[in-house]
Chains A and B, each alone.
Chain A
Amino acid sequence: MSGDPDRSNLKPLSLHVPEPRFRPGDEVDFSVVEVPAAGAAPRPDTHDVPASFSDLAYSLVRVLDDDGQAVGPWNPRLSPDRLRRMLRHMALVRAFDERMFRAQRQGKTSFYMKSLGEEAVSVAAAHALHYDDMCFPSYRQQGLLIARDWSLVDMMNQIYSNRADRLQGKQLPIMYSVREAGFFSISGNLTTQYPQAVGWAMASASKGDTRIAATWCGEGSTAEGDFHSALTFATVYRAPVIFNVVNNQWAISSFSGFAGAEATTFAARAIGYGIAGLRVDGNDALAVYAATAWAAERARTNAGPTLIEHFTYRAEGHSTSDDPSAYRSAGEPNAWPLGDPIRRLKDHLIAIGEWDEDRQATMDREVAEEVKAAQKEAEKNGILGHGLLQPLDSLFEGVFEEMPWHLREQQQQMLAEEEASGRPWARKG
C-alpha cells in the first residue's frame, strides 16, 4: 500500500489482465498475426538437440503457399492418392460434425463438440502415424478415428448412448474409447491424458516395442499441472511420445492469452524442458503431416519427444452448450489469416492437376450421403430421447472387475425399488 517513505517515488504497481483483440461487434483485423512465408522454415535433422529449436518454436512451419503449391524443405511429397484420402477424411469429419451438431439441436442427443477448422490437425496426424501407435486425444480429435476409418455408425451409437453404444451409455457423447483403433478413452478432465501418454510410451520403450504414443490438448489446457508433469517425465526418460498442442486461440470464452500466449508460443515451452518444439500452421494439412512424421521418426529412433504447436482457429462455438457471439467478434473465423484447411488442401490438389471442382462437389455429396446413411443406421439402435436403452443393472457393471457386495446390494435395491414403484422405466432394453 502507499505510505512507504522509502519508495514514495515509485509508480504504484499495476496488474495486467489479458484482453483479446476483438469483442462482439468489433471489426476484425488479424494483420498483427505473423504469418511467415510457406517453405521458409528449415527442416532440422530428427536427431538435433532441443536447444537448437528456438527459432522453429517461434516461427511457423508452412508448406502450402498462397498459390496452392507445396514448397520448402517440409514438403512431405505425398502421393496424389494420399492427398485425396486426407482431403476426403477431412471432408468426412466436417460432414459428420455438421450432422451431429444438428442431431443435438433436434434433441437426439444431449451434447456435441465440432472441430470445424481444425480437421487437418487430427486427420493429417493420423495419416502420418502408424495405425498401432496409441493416440491419447482430447475431445476435439474425432478426426483421428475418422482418418483411421473407424465406423461412423459406431461413433454415432456412442453419441446417441443407444443400445449399440460400445460404452453402454456410461459416457457423455463424444467421449469415445476405441482400443482397436489406437484411440484411448477420452476423459472429461483436461490434460490428464498427457502423462498417461508418456507412461504408455515409456512402457513401449521399456518393452523394446516399436510403437509410439501421441497426445493432444488444447492451448488452454497447457495451463494444467499435468502438462508440466508430462513434459518433465518425457524429457527425463526420453519417452517416444509426440505432444500436440492445438492452439485454436480459444478455451471456451478465454482467449489464448489466459494460457500465456501473450508472452510466448506454446512450442517454445518445449525448449525449456529439453524437448524439440515445432510450431506449425495447423490449417496446412501438409505441414501437420510433415511435422508429425518428423516427430514420429524422432521418437521411433530413440531421439526423444517432440512438442508440436498447431496454430489454428476454433471456427465454431466450444460446444453445443456455447454461444461464441457472447465473447468474440462474429467476424473472426472468416478473417483468420491461415484460412480453411479443407479449402487449402483442395486448392493444392487442383493446382497440381490432381483434382477439380466437379470432383470436389461429387466428394462432398458422397461424404454427406455416407454420414446420412450412417446416421440412419445408428438411429435404428435408438437415440437418447428414447428412454433407457441399456439394461438397468448395467449401471453397476465395470466399476470393478468383479462386483463387490455393496454394489450388488445397491443394484438389487434399485431393481426392487423400480419394481415396486408402479412406474417402471419406459422402454428399457
Chain B
Amino acid sequence: MNMIQAINSALDVMMARDDAIVVMGEDVGYFGGVFRATAGLQKKYGKTRVFDTPITECGIIGVAVGMGAYGLRPVPEIQFADYIYPALDQLVSEAARLRYRSDGEFIAPLTVRSPFGGGIFGGQTHSQSPEGIFTHVSGLKTVIPSTPYDAKGLLIAAIEDNDPVIFFEPKRIYNGPFNGHWDRPAENWSKHPAGAVPTGYYRIPLGKANVVREGEAVTILAYGTMVHVCLNVVAEAGVDAEVIDLRTLVPLDIETIEESVRKTGRCLIVHEATRTSGFGAELSALVQERCFYHLEAPIERVTGFDTPYPHSLEWAYFPGPVRIGQALKKILKD
C-alpha cells in the first residue's frame, strides 16, 4: 500500500470496529477526499458516518468537539495543514482543555487528520509544517508518520486514544519515500519494506520512536518526509549515523533519544518547519539538558528558513541533501 491506501485502510478497519467513529471534512464524503484518503468509505458506511462539510475549519473542529462530548469519536480532516488556523481556537481553547477544565466530565477524543509539509511545489499555503504550534499546547498529542505501515498503525492508535490527536500526514511521501533528490525520478512504496501493510487491525503505540538506522557516529532526530531524506544523505555520505524517526512529538519518546545521544555524543535535528521556536528548539533543549556531559559537539539544526514557504525557490528552501550533508560534516569535524 502507499500511505494514502494505508490511511484509508486504517479508517476502514476502525469504522468497522466502532460505530462511534465518524469521518468528516471538506470533500471527504462522496468524492473520497482530494488525496483519496477517504475513498469508498461513504459508500460502505453511509452518509451519517462519512460526510462532506461546509468550508469552515472552525466549524469542522467545533462540531467534532460537540460530537465527542456526545460520545462519538470523530476523525475530522483539515484539507491542508496550512488551513488549520481558523480552527486553532477550537483546538487550543476547547479540544485541548476540555478534559482538564471539566475535570474529566467531558472529553474530546478527536483525531484531526491533515496533510502537511512541502516538497510538492505547493507554495505558501500548501506546504507548511505547523506542528510546533500544536506541540506547544498542553492537552494535544501530535503524531507524524513516515511510512504507510506506520501511518496505519499510528492512525489506529490515535483514533483509539481518548485525547485529541493532531495527525499530520506528510503529503510529499503519500506515494513514495522521497529521498531529497527532487531532480531524480520519484520512488514508490511498492519497493519499500514499510509499503507492506497488513489489511487488518494493528496498532503502533503513540509516544514510541523508531530507530530506523542504528549507528555510532551521530544521532539524527527527524520525522515525516525528513526521515527518508536523512537516511539517503547518510547512505550517500557513508556516515555511521543513528537515525531516529520520532513518530510522535507529544508525548515524545525521550528515552530512545537520550539513549542514542549518550551513545553517539552528537545530535543533528532536521525538520521542514521554520527554525525559530520550531519543534527542533524543544528537541535541542531536551538533549542539551539531559545529555550535556555526553555531547562532543554543539547540537545542530537543519530546518526550513524563517520565511514563508516559497514557490519557485522551493528547493533552495527545503532542508535537502546539501544542507543536511554540510551539517553532518560540521558536527562530525570535532
Interface residues of A (CB under 8 A from B): 134, 136, 166-168, 170-171, 175, 177-179, 184-185, 187-189, 192, 194-204, 206-207, 213, 225-226, 228-230, 232-233, 236, 398-401, 404-406
B63-A233 in contact (CB<8A): yes
Interface residues of B (CB under 8 A from A): 22, 48-49, 53-54, 56, 58-59, 61-72, 74, 86, 89-90, 93-94, 97-107, 138-139, 141, 161-163, 207, 250-252, 254
Closest 5 CB pairs of A and B: A199-B66, A195-B62, A229-B59, A199-B63, A196-B66
B54-A232 in contact (CB<8A): yes
Which of A166, A203, A206, A230 counts the most chain B CB atoms within 10 A? A203
- 8 A-B contacts, Cβ less than 8 Å apart? A134-B70, A177-B103, A185-B102, A185-B106, A198-B66, A206-B22, A229-B58, A232-B56
Given A177-B103, A189-B93, A225-B58: A195 touches B63 (CB 8 Å cut-off): yes
A184-B106 in contact (CB<8A): yes
Q: Which residue of A lies closest to B107 (CB)?
A: A401
Chain A nearest CB from B55 CB (Å) reads 9
* Residues of B contacting A206 in the complex (Cβ-Cβ under 8 angstroms): 22, 48-49, 72
Q: Which residue of A lies closest to B54 (CB)?
A: A232
Chain A nearest CB from B87 CB (Å) reads 10
Give the distance in Å from the alpha carbon of A404 to the alpha carbon of B135 in the complex: 13
A197-B105 in contact (CB<8A): no
Chain A nearest CB from B102 CB (Å) reads 4
A179-B106 in contact (CB<8A): yes
Give the distance in Å from the alpha carbon of A226 to the alpha carbon of B63 in the complex: 10
Point out the residue from B56, B65, B67, B106 that lies within 8 Å of A177, measured CB to CB.
B106
Main secondary structure on B side of the interface with A: mixed
Point out the residue from A167, A189, A228, A229 that lies within 8 Å of B103, measured CB to CB.
A167
Point out the residue from A200, A229, A405 that lies within 8 Å of B70, measured CB to CB.
A200
* Residues of A contacting B106 in the complex (Cβ-Cβ under 8 angstroms): 177, 179, 184-185
A203-B67 in contact (CB<8A): yes
Point out the residue from A192, A236, A405 that lies within 8 Å of B251, measured CB to CB.
A405
Given A199-B66, A228-B56, A404-B250: A399 touches B138 (CB 8 Å cut-off): yes
A200-B100 in contact (CB<8A): no
Give the distance in Å from the alpha carbon of A406 to the alpha carbon of B63 in the complex: 30
Chain A nearest CB from B23 CB (Å) reads 12
Give the distance in Å from the alpha carbon of A134 to the alpha carbon of B54 in the complex: 24
A196-B103 in contact (CB<8A): no
Point out the residue from A171, A192, A400 that lies within 8 Å of B89, measured CB to CB.
A192
B101-A177 in contact (CB<8A): yes
A185-B163 in contact (CB<8A): no
Give the distance in Å from the alpha carbon of A185 to the alpha carbon of B103 in the complex: 10
* Residues of B contacting A228 in the complex (Cβ-Cβ under 8 angstroms): 56
B53-A233 in contact (CB<8A): yes
Give the distance in Å from the alpha carbon of A213 to the alpha carbon of B70 in the complex: 10
Given A213-B66, A406-B251: A398 touches B103 (CB 8 Å cut-off): yes
Beyond known contacts A167-B102, A204-B70, A229-B62: 4 more, CB 8 A cutoff: A194-B62, A203-B71, A226-B89, A400-B163
Give the distance in Å from the alpha carbon of A196 to the alpha carbon of B63 in the complex: 5
A399-B99 in contact (CB<8A): yes
A401-B94 in contact (CB<8A): no
Give the distance in Å from the alpha carbon of A406 to the alpha carbon of B258 in the complex: 14
Chain B nearest CB from A179 CB (Å) reads 4
* Residues of B contacting A230 in the complex (Cβ-Cβ under 8 angstroms): 59, 62
Give the distance in Å from the alpha carbon of A167 to the alpha carbon of B105 in the complex: 9
B103-A166 in contact (CB<8A): yes
Q: Which residue of B lies closest to A171 (CB)?
A: B101
Q: Which residue of A lies closest to B163 (CB)?
A: A400
A195-B58 in contact (CB<8A): yes
Point out the residue from A197, A236, A399 that lies within 8 Å of B66, measured CB to CB.
A197
* Residues of A contacting B93 in the complex (Cβ-Cβ under 8 angstroms): 187-189, 192
Give the distance in Å from the alpha carbon of A202 to the alpha carbon of B59 in the complex: 13
Give the distance in Å from the alpha carbon of A171 to the alpha carbon of B72 in the complex: 25
